Chains A and B, each alone.
Chain A
């Protein structure tokens, strides 16, 4: 416990039903596409059908003639009132290409916006889009990172002379340790490109009021304040006249933390045309133009002693920058490097990073951003090591775990882990699956020609980023802090404003629980508001598993201040010293004198009455608080996956999935478990079926849910989730992140399980996704099937 009291209403730790559910269950939620304004126009885009081409000509004359078309735009027409997009964060030596909102004479990926139409109706805009003729002169394209680095590869940006975007080494020296190691394993591992596929695609409504210059933007985003700053800066708009609202948002997963060209154009056009402009992304556009995830390749080298003690780890990482990296794109491999040693004591570790331009959609944050990749490489490498040394993979993990007494632990790549207890999750997971019996069953079935595999993954990642040194162009993230405002209305009801911007995480409930617990009032008496820059002074949004640990801590601090003020006011009212008063179950009272009490509601009312206040006290029970974490917190856990592989078809069938996760203090375990379920589903999706496929000309072949598979209910096993609670010392709640735990644990657990199942055939590694065809081919090559 780190200083949090548990109120008598027992809100913290309670499995409360979510307060946001009734509106979402009855169709009364408000998503961006639900917003209709008088005179609203519809924006639509023509997108490149080539991975690389020069644009010879664009003929918009037919489109302009379509009835109901208001305007048609190409790069030429928007030049002058729509600026370039910000481009990537500035890393040393990083080459940043110009990123135009509409392609400027040259297209570099399929899906790049080439022209835009604005029309009175959604259908008319589509008609007009189809009437635009673009004359392309196709050029060779490259979508594969290894190919892109070859000397004769087509160049994504000719002016750079190569496709290398940047190179960066991190960590300490590994050569000597690898030299001295008894055993060295090496493996090339692909962390394939996936698509976030939020169920609600991106969308925006932008409204400009000419009379006073007020601009209101409804945007499906994770970070309304950050987007407002970017829009203000790029479009040269006065920030105080710009209001960004994130209404109900249908999922983000990292892909809605960025400002995109379509969105900036919609705002610029609303101003230009003096009418509201709406743009709603189609699913195909989402697959082509919303940022992708992962897209990393690593050559992993792990050196160890004969007893399994790890001596050194080296990663040579290729990170895909796409054609036009977004602000955060180059940061993914840096995240990978930071946590590459995971929950293990590895004295020597080094990452050699290369960022690579390709003719593809740029990757950007996707649930697990950089850290999930690290856990995958390491957990796979440990299984390879165990196999090579003929040791139990569980024992290899145990032997190398950082022990509780070793914290704070500084990794060779510069990350300080503050606390953890990795053994506790591993032990619980093994008990839950009954590992002894399971392995006996595995052996028995193997002799019958049935192939069961058991896969383990022990992970740690970093969540809730602290303020980082300000890099140019990452400046839109002003810091790791989060703020909260809490006010008590005259009737004793509480409004909490948060700078986080939930889009499915249930923060309206969890944050209300924190406030209700601290003030010891009913949950129903608290309402949480978020996602509107007009009512929320500032915030850094919801991303990187930060909102509960960081945003929730700010709420706790604000509630604590209000509590103290309420106690002071109660003491004044009751005519006693403040230490004599207790605030409990909706009232303040003098213990032992039940008649000397005042209800919280009456106290609230009193606080508005200036003449009843003690000297020097300002009216109203309200407070604002900011919480800045001084380091990332470290969620951890162990996942165990049990599969049976049908060697005739290559299909891995999930038999069991056990996840034991530690997110420190769980404010609402029901919601925490839901976060793990969803993360595991996305992680299993990546491991089993999700991948972006390009043909030899750079055409993406996965552009709808027909070709790009996300898991359905019948693809998923029953998930068995258990929580352990090791409080984090980094915040007053003792909370760790949880949003990205599932996507971090699941891919290595699943792949390790399938590789374990195929051990009798000598299979040591398989690249994701483990589609039946891929597994079957490996079995075929191993002579297991004909």
Chain B
């Protein structure tokens, strides 16, 4: 089937099998390999991307369901040079170790801060329930998201 998807701001047309998962389309056809596969059962969140601004697990969605829609992956989050504030905070707070869950974690954090700019610690922990990490104990991820929230709200407060 022919699909047309806007991915990271760029319109893309492609031929896919109807059963192709969005994650495989992104990884194998578009070579956006920052989107990771960690579980096959939609529990780990390593494949998290934004679909029309909403956080989804791309292993649970068919590529054809993304037709005529907009996808944002980790590759499209940062500006051309440098890092997005959430990515910056992750580095500053040592919120990643092996880095495999990280792209999904960052997308989940970004989605949370988009809808709730100043989340409490329990809200952050709750929002990350769909994203598993085995290295960090989540401690520094939670710290990083709080730090990113603070940084972003300061930035917005400036005239």
| Contacting pair A706 B43 (CB below 8 A) | yes
Partner of A678, one of B74, B91, B106, B135: B135
Partner of B134, one of A20, A31, A34, A197: A197
- With both beta carbons as reference points, the residue of chain A lying nearest to B21 in the complex is identified as A123
State the CA gap A671–B135 with chains docked (Å): 11
Interface check B94, CB cutoff 8 A? yes
| Contacting pair A200 B125 (CB below 8 A) | no
B140 to chain A, nearest CB (A): 6
| Contacting pair B142 A248 (CB below 8 A) | no
Q: Pull 26 A–B residue pairs with CB atoms less than 8 Å apart, ordered by A.
A: A17-B94, A21-B90, A21-B91, A22-B91, A24-B96, A25-B87, A26-B75, A31-B100, A33-B36, A36-B28, A122-B28, A199-B135, A200-B100, A248-B99, A249-B98, A251-B97, A284-B41, A677-B140, A678-B136, A704-B41, A710-B132, A711-B138, A713-B128, A714-B128, A718-B121, A718-B139
Q: From residue 183 to 216 of chain A, which have CB atoms closer than 8 A to chain B?
A: 197-201
Interface check A282, CB cutoff 8 A? yes
Interface check B37, CB cutoff 8 A? yes
| Contacting pair A503 B40 (CB below 8 A) | no
Q: A27-B103, A705-B132, A710-B132 are in contact. List 20 more A-B contacts (CB 8 A).
A: A18-B94, A21-B90, A21-B91, A24-B102, A25-B83, A25-B96, A27-B33, A122-B24, A199-B46, A199-B133, A283-B41, A284-B41, A504-B98, A505-B97, A670-B94, A677-B140, A681-B134, A704-B41, A712-B129, A718-B139
Provide the residues of chain B in CB contact with A712, threshold 8 Å.
125, 128-129, 131-132, 138
| Contacting pair B141 A713 (CB below 8 A) | yes
State the CA gap A710–B135 with chains docked (Å): 11
Provide the residues of chain B in CB contact with A681, threshold 8 Å.
134, 136-138
| Contacting pair A251 B102 (CB below 8 A) | no
A739 to chain B, nearest CB (A): 11
Mark contacts of A263-292 with chain B using CB atoms, 8 A cut-off: 1 yes-contact digit, 0 otherwise: 000000000000000001011100000000
Mark contacts of B3-46 with chain A using CB atoms, 8 A cut-off: 1 yes-contact digit, 0 otherwise: 00000000000000101100010011001111111111101101
Given known A-B contacts A26-B34, A712-B128, A713-B125, A17 and B91 have beta carbons under 8 A apart: yes
Partner of A18, one of B27, B31, B91, B131: B91
| Contacting pair B139 A719 (CB below 8 A) | yes
State the CA gap A137–B47 with chains docked (Å): 40
A171 to chain B, nearest CB (A): 35
Mark contacts of A318-333 with chain B using CB atoms, 8 A cut-off: 1 yes-contact digit, 0 otherwise: 0000000000000000
A29 to chain B, nearest CB (A): 5
Partner of B34, one of A28, A284, A680: A28
- With both beta carbons as reference points, the residue of chain B lying nearest to A367 in the complex is identified as B134
Given known A-B contacts A249-B98, A671-B94, A705 and B83 have beta carbons under 8 A apart: no
Interface of A is mostly: loop
| Contacting pair B97 A506 (CB below 8 A) | yes
State the CA gap A505–B135 with chains docked (Å): 9
Q: From residue 5 to 24 of chain A, which have CB atoms closer than 8 A to chain B?
A: 17-18, 20-24
| Contacting pair A34 B139 (CB below 8 A) | no
State the CA gap A673–B135 with chains docked (Å): 12
Interface check B101, CB cutoff 8 A? yes
Q: From residue 237 to 265 of chain A, which have CB atoms closer than 8 A to chain B?
A: 248-251, 253
Q: From residue 626 to 683 of chain A, which have CB atoms closer than 8 A to chain B?
A: 670-671, 673-674, 677-682
Interface check A578, CB cutoff 8 A? no
Given known A-B contacts A22-B83, A716-B125, A719-B139, A29 and B99 have beta carbons under 8 A apart: yes
| Contacting pair B100 A251 (CB below 8 A) | yes
State the CA gap A366–B101 with chains docked (Å): 20
| Contacting pair B98 A251 (CB below 8 A) | yes
| Contacting pair A200 B36 (CB below 8 A) | yes
Provide the residues of chain B in CB contact with A714, threshold 8 Å.
122, 125-126, 128-129
Interface check B68, CB cutoff 8 A? no
Contact-residue bracket for chain B: 35 or more
**Top 8 A-B pairs ranked by shortest CB distance?**
A27-B34, A24-B99, A250-B100, A504-B98, A681-B137, A705-B43, A677-B137, A504-B97
Provide the residues of chain A in CB contact with B138, threshold 8 Å.
677, 681, 711-713, 716
Q: From residue 115 to 159 of chain B, which have CB atoms closer than 8 A to chain A?
A: 121-122, 124-126, 128-129, 131-142
A214 to chain B, nearest CB (A): 25
- With both beta carbons as reference points, the residue of chain A lying nearest to B87 in the complex is identified as A25
Interface check B52, CB cutoff 8 A? no
Mark contacts of B54-98 with chain A using CB atoms, 8 A cut-off: 1 yes-contact digit, 0 otherwise: 000000000000000000011101100001000100111010111
State the CA gap A249–B74 with chains docked (Å): 18
Partner of A27, one of B43, B74, B140: B74
Provide the residues of chain A in CB contact with B34, threshold 8 Å.
26-29
Interface of B is mostly: loop
Provide the residues of chain A in CB contact with B73, threshold 8 Å.
27
B105 to chain A, nearest CB (A): 9
Partner of B101, one of A199, A705, A711: A199
| Contacting pair B40 A282 (CB below 8 A) | yes
Provide the residues of chain A in CB contact with B33, threshold 8 Å.
27, 30-31, 33-34
| Contacting pair A251 B142 (CB below 8 A) | no
State the CA gap A505–B94 with chains docked (Å): 11
| Contacting pair A710 B142 (CB below 8 A) | no
A638 to chain B, nearest CB (A): 18
Provide the residues of chain B in CB contact with A30, threshold 8 Å.
33
State the CA gap A503–B98 with chains docked (Å): 6
A382 to chain B, nearest CB (A): 26
| Contacting pair A199 B44 (CB below 8 A) | yes
State the CA gap A250–B97 with chains docked (Å): 9
Task: Select the residue from A30, A197, A674, A704 with max chain B CB neighbours within 10 A.
Answer: A674
| Contacting pair B102 A283 (CB below 8 A) | no
Given known A-B contacts A198-B134, A199-B134, A504-B135, A284 and B97 have beta carbons under 8 A apart: no
B111 to chain A, nearest CB (A): 14
Given known A-B contacts A27-B74, A284-B40, A199 and B98 have beta carbons under 8 A apart: yes
Provide the residues of chain A in CB contact with B20, threshold 8 Å.
123
| Contacting pair B100 A716 (CB below 8 A) | no
State the CA gap A6–B20 with chains docked (Å): 56
A669 to chain B, nearest CB (A): 10
| Contacting pair B128 A674 (CB below 8 A) | no
Task: Select the residue from A31, A122, A250, A742 with max chain B CB neighbours within 10 A.
Answer: A250
State the CA gap A34–B33 with chains docked (Å): 6
B112 to chain A, nearest CB (A): 11
| Contacting pair B75 A27 (CB below 8 A) | yes
Task: Select the residue from A31, A122, A670 with max chain B CB neighbours within 10 A.
Answer: A31
| Contacting pair B125 A250 (CB below 8 A) | no
B81 to chain A, nearest CB (A): 11
B69 to chain A, nearest CB (A): 20
- With both beta carbons as reference points, the residue of chain B lying nearest to A286 in the complex is identified as B39
A84 to chain B, nearest CB (A): 30
- With both beta carbons as reference points, the residue of chain A lying nearest to B35 in the complex is identified as A27
Given known A-B contacts A24-B102, A706-B43, A17 and B128 have beta carbons under 8 A apart: no
State the CA gap A319–B33 with chains docked (Å): 40
- With both beta carbons as reference points, the residue of chain A lying nearest to B135 in the complex is identified as A678
Partner of A25, one of B38, B106, B131, B133: B106
| Contacting pair A504 B137 (CB below 8 A) | no
| Contacting pair B99 A677 (CB below 8 A) | no
State the CA gap A58–B152 with chains docked (Å): 60
Provide the residues of chain B in CB contact with A711, threshold 8 Å.
137-138
- With both beta carbons as reference points, the residue of chain B lying nearest to A677 in the complex is identified as B137
A428 to chain B, nearest CB (A): 19
B110 to chain A, nearest CB (A): 12
State the CA gap A17–B17 with chains docked (Å): 43
Task: Select the residue from A25, A682, A714, A718 with max chain B CB neighbours within 10 A.
Answer: A25
Q: From residue 25 to 64 of chain A, which have CB atoms closer than 8 A to chain B?
A: 25-31, 33-34, 36
Partner of B41, one of A26, A705, A742: A705
Provide the residues of chain A in CB contact with B136, threshold 8 Å.
674, 677-678, 681
State the CA gap A521–B61 with chains docked (Å): 50
Task: Select the residue from A24, A674, A679 with max chain B CB neighbours within 10 A.
Answer: A24
Partner of B137, one of A17, A23, A678: A678
Partner of B140, one of A253, A503, A674, A679: A674
